[in-house]
């Protein structure tokens, strides 16, 4: 059996890496990197010692969706025409996921969708990810759903029961791998006063470009002013639509530290050292509950309601005053903070790759 992994962004690489290592033990596995991301992908491939067999090298500064979609579709199609594969595996909901799956669909190759069935049911939010994952579900042969809720979403859309498997999320496999194998780098926190509490921030989503991101940054500015001892650490996504407003509003504030995107282990260890996490990221919402870290999600919707229901994650929207108030509540009220700091594992125990591998081998 011959398998082609197709992915292109940071979270896909993090979530596919342990599965590549697992499937390589038994099968002929090749890796196609679309090049949707560049610097933010390389450190993860290096970490897991994955050398791509194909690299479409697509990234352009401030690229648009139509450019990416067209190039990925034709690039992956060429590979699939040159070499025969039994399966194409894609992950999540990016443009690489959707266009990679479509290339396989047109070539009549079986598609395995890792992290299937997440939904907000709002095509505008997250944009364009909600459409990407719904389209991918329509094309997939097997659906690897992280949770029971994701499984139900797929059943409700008419997916045959026997094609959906609940596996947990492979991000927990990666997280555990890092915590076990990579020691905390000594110099990782030299930029901040480590005796003080850290708020770790990330933000990058397309639907937050413009006003959403300005509101988020204003809230962070206000938090920094009201809590001058707190260290706000923000590794800034390389997208210029993120870099520009974040730097304009938040540079030159003493207790706000704007960093380059961190390597995956550095980021995980920093999460572990943080008091509170404020983010619009999907993956961070999945990692933080395992580490017992409270998360304020600065988005209008989330497709990851499991941790919200468990009480470790709170959806706070993108209004600056609301974000500030929610953060202030947690920073001033110890009992509220403690109630959100329970370690909880809604996304599995770290054996998702083992399960997915079994289902693929059985098909
Ligand atoms: C993409 C995904 C999003 C995912 C995110 C993870 C889509 C539509 N969006 O959004 O679902 O949550 O990745 O981070 O697929 N850039 C660099 N170097 C890099 C990566 C990005 O310079 O290594 C800059 C480039 O200017 C690039 C821009 O960021 O054009 C945007 O990248 P793109 O992949 O289009 O969008 P993301 O916002 O990263
Ligand atoms: N991450 C990282 N370095 C950073 C910020 C995040 O390695 O500076 C990791 C994080 O641990 C998580 C993943 O990137 O596993 C999330 O990716 P991102 O937020 O870009 O995308 P999303 O999950 O929102 O699709």
> In which domain, by residue range, is 14 found?
2-169+348-361
Residue 261 in contact with ligand 2 by CB distance below 6 A: yes
**Average pLDDT for the chain:** 95
Same domain membership, residue 206 and residue 163: no
Given the DSSP bridges, would you call strands 28-33 and 54-55 parallel, antiparallel or unpaired?
A: parallel
Give domain status of residue 107, yes or no.
yes
The yes-or-no verdict on residue 90 having pLDDT over 90 is yes
Whether residues 13 and 159 fall in one domain: yes
Question: Which pLDDT band holds residue 194 (cuts at 50, 70, 90)?
Answer: low
**What is the DSSP code (8-state) at residue 92?**
T
Q: Does residue 185 carry a pLDDT above 80? A: no
Residue 191 has what pLDDT? 67
Identify the residue whose C-alpha is closest to ligand 1 atom 25: 61
Least confident stretch, 34-38, 191-195, 209-213: 191-195
For a mutational test of ligand 2's pocket, the pick from 9, 11, 46, 263, i.e. the residue with the most ligand atoms closer than 8 A to its C-beta, is 11
How many separate domains does the chain show?
2
Ligand 2 mutation target, pool 170, 206, 284, most atoms within 8 A of CB: 284
Asked whether 185 and 265 are in contact (CB, 8 A), the reply is yes
Nearest CA to ligand 1 atom 11: 94
CA 128 / ligand 1 centre spacing (Å): 12
> Which residues make beta-bridge pairs with 141?
none
Spatial CA neighbour of 349 closest among 166, 183, 181, 182: 166
Instruction: Indicate whether 106 and 130 sit together in one domain.
Output: yes
Q: Residue 169 in 3-state DSSP? A: coil
Q: What share of the chain is helix, strand, coil (3-state, %, to 5)?
A: 50, 15, 35
**DSSP 8-state symbol, 262:** P
Nearest to 298 by CA among 229, 222, 227, 207: 207
Instruction: For residue 297, tell me if it sits in a domain.
Output: yes
Residue 187 has pLDDT above 90, yes or no: no
Closest C-alpha to ligand 1, atom 28: 239
Position 193 scores a pLDDT of 62
Please report the pLDDT score of residue 345 as a whole number: 86
Read off the pLDDT band of 362 (50, 70, 90). confident
User: Counting atoms of ligand 1 from 1, which one is nearest the CA of 93?
Assistant: 11
Compute the distance between CA of residue 136 and CA of residue 158 in angstroms, rounded to an integer.
Answer: 14
The DSSP code sequence of 190-223 is TTS-TTS-EEEEE---GGGTTHHHHHHHHHHHHH
Q: Which two tokens stand for residue 243?
A: 């870099």
The whole-number pLDDT of residue 188 equals 62
248 pLDDT tier (thresholds 50, 70, 90)? very high
Q: Over pLDDT 70: what percentage of the chain? A: 98
Q: Is 167 left (phi over 0), alpha (psi -120 to 50) or beta?
A: alpha
Chain centroid to CA 68: 19
Per-residue pLDDT of 257-278, as tens digits, reads 999 999 999 999 999 999 999 9
How confident is the model over 327-335, as a mean pLDDT? Answer: 96
Atom of ligand 2 nearest to the CA of 279: 19
Question: Does a structural domain hold residue 182?
Answer: no
**What is the three-class DSSP state of 301?**
coil
Contact 117, 111 (CB under 8 A): no
* Better-predicted residue by pLDDT, 11 or 187: 11
- Tell me, what's the pLDDT at 218? 98
Q: Which residue has the tokens 């690299």?
A: 55
Residue 37 has pLDDT above 90, yes or no: yes
pLDDT at 351 (0 to 100): 97
**148 and 25 share a domain?**
yes
3-state secondary structure of 44: helix
155 lies in the same domain as 227 = no
User: What band does 344 get if pLDDT is binned at 50, 70 and 90?
Assistant: confident
Q: Percentage of the chain with pLDDT > 90?
A: 94
Q: Is the pLDDT of residue 189 over 80?
A: no
Give the residue-averaged pLDDT of 229-247.
Answer: 96
Residue 183 within a domain? no
Q: Residues 288, 309: one domain?
A: yes
Residues linked to residue 363 through DSSP beta bridges, in sequence order: none
Ligand 2 touching residue 126 (CB < 6 A): no
Ligand number nearest to the C-alpha of 35 = 1
User: What residues flank ligand 1, with Cβ below 6 Å?
Assistant: 9-11, 36-41, 59-63, 65, 94-95, 128-129, 204, 238-240
DSSP state, 208?
A: G
Q: Give residue 110's pLDDT.
A: 98
CA of 37 to the centre of ligand 1 (A): 6
239, two tokens: 């997208």
Whether 236 lines ligand 2, by a CB cut-off of 6 Å, is no
Same domain, 251 and 299: yes
Nearest partner of 173 among 362, 359, 345, judged by Cα: 345
Question: Per-residue pLDDT for 213 more than 70?
Answer: yes
- Say yes or no: 41 and 24 in one domain: yes
**Ligand 1 pocket mutation, candidates 118, 238, 241, criterion most atoms within 8 A of CB:** 238
206 Cβ neighbours under 8 A, 6+ residues apart: 126, 127, 128, 241
Partnered with residue 296 across adjacent β-strands are: 278, 314
Catalytic residue positions, numbered = 93, 115, 129, 204, 206, 237
**Taking a C-beta distance cutoff of 8 angstroms, is the pair 307, 346 a contact?**
yes
Give the model confidence (pLDDT) of 101-118 as tens digits: 999 999 999 999 999 999
Q: How confident is the model at residue 184 (pLDDT cuts 50, 70, 90)?
A: confident
d(CA 59, CA 44): 17
Which residue of 14, 66, 68, 94 sits with most ligand 1 atoms within 8 Å of its CB, as the best mutation to test the pocket? 94
Q: Output the residue whose Cα is nearest ligand 1's atom 14.
A: 10
Q: How many whole angstroms separate alpha carbon 282 and alpha carbon 304?
A: 8
Q: Give yes or no: residues 137 and 212 share one domain.
A: no
Which residue bears the tokens 């196609």? Answer: 32
Work out the average pLDDT over 74-86.
98
- What is the pLDDT averaged over residues 313-321? 97
Q: Which atom of ligand 2 is nearest to the CA of 129?
A: 25
Which residue's CA lies nearest to atom 5 of ligand 1? 9
Tell me, what's the pLDDT at 43? 94
Rg of the Cα trace of the chain?
Answer: 20
Residue of 152, 145, 175 whose CA lies nearest to 359: 145
pLDDT band at 13 (very low <50, low <70, confident <90, very high): very high
Atom of ligand 1 nearest to the CA of 36: 34
* Nearest-angstrom CA–CA distance, 268 and 339: 22
Q: Does 158 lie in the same domain as 212? A: no
Does 154 share its domain with 217? no
Give the pLDDT of residue 190: 67
> 332 pLDDT band (50/70/90 cuts)?
very high
Report if residue 309 sits inside a domain: yes
Average pLDDT over residues 57-68: 96
Query: Is residue 53 situated within a structural domain?
Result: yes
Residues 94, 32: one domain? Answer: yes
Distance, CA of 64 to chain centre: 20
Cβ of 234 less than 6 Å from ligand 2: no
Q: Quote the CA–CA distance of 125 and 302 in Å, as a whole number.
A: 9
Instruction: State how far the Cα of 207 lies from the Cα of 243, in Å rounded to an integer.
Output: 15
Mean pLDDT confidence for 295-324: 96
CATH number of the domain residue 17 falls in: 3.40.50.2000
């Amino acid at each position: 059996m011959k398998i082609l992994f197709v992915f292109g962004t940071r979270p896909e690489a993090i979530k596919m890496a342990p599965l590549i290592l697992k499937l390589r033990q038994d099968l002929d596995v090749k890796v196609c990197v679309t090049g949707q991301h560049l610097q933010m992908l390389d450190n993860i491939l290096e970490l897991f010692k994955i050398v791509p067999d194909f690299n479409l090298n697509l990234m352009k500064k401030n690229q648009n969706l139509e450019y990416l979609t067209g190039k990925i579709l034709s690039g992956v199609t060429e590979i699939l025409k040159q070499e025969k594969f039994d399966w194409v595996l894609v992950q999540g909901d990016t443009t690489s996921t959707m266009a990679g799956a479509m290339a396989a669909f047109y070539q009549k190759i079986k598609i395995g969708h890792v992290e299937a069935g997440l939904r907000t049911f709002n095509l505008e939010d997250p944009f364009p990810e909600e459409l990407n994952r719904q389209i991918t579900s329509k094309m997939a042969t097997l659906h690897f759903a992280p949770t029971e809720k994701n499984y139900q979403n797929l059943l409700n859309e008419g997916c045959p029961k026997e094609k959906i498997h609940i596996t947990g999320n492979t991000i927990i496999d990666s997280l555990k791998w890092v915590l076990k194998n990579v020691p905390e780098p000594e110099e990782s926190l030299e930029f901040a006063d480590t005796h003080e509490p850290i708020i770790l921030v990330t933000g990058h989503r397309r639907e937050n470009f413009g006003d959403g991101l300005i509101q988020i940054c204003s809230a962070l500015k206000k938090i920094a002013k009201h809590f001058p001892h707190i260290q706000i650490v923000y590794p800034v996504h390389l997208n210029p639509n993120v870099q520009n407003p974040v730097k304009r509003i938040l540079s030159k504030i003493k207790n706000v530290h704007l960093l380059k995107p961190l390597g995956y282990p550095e980021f995980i260890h920093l999460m572990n050292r943080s008091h509170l996490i404020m983010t619009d990221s999907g993956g961070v919402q999945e990692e933080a509950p395992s580490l017992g870290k409270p998360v304020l999600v600065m988005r209008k919707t989330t497709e990851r309601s499991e941790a919200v229901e468990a009480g470790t994650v709170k959806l706070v929207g993108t209004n600056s005053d609301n974000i500030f108030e929610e953060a202030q509540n947690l920073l001033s009220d110890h009992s509220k903070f403690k109630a959100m700091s329970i370690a909880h594992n809604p996304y599995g125990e770290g054996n998702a790759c083992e399960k997915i591998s079994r289902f693929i081998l059985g098909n």
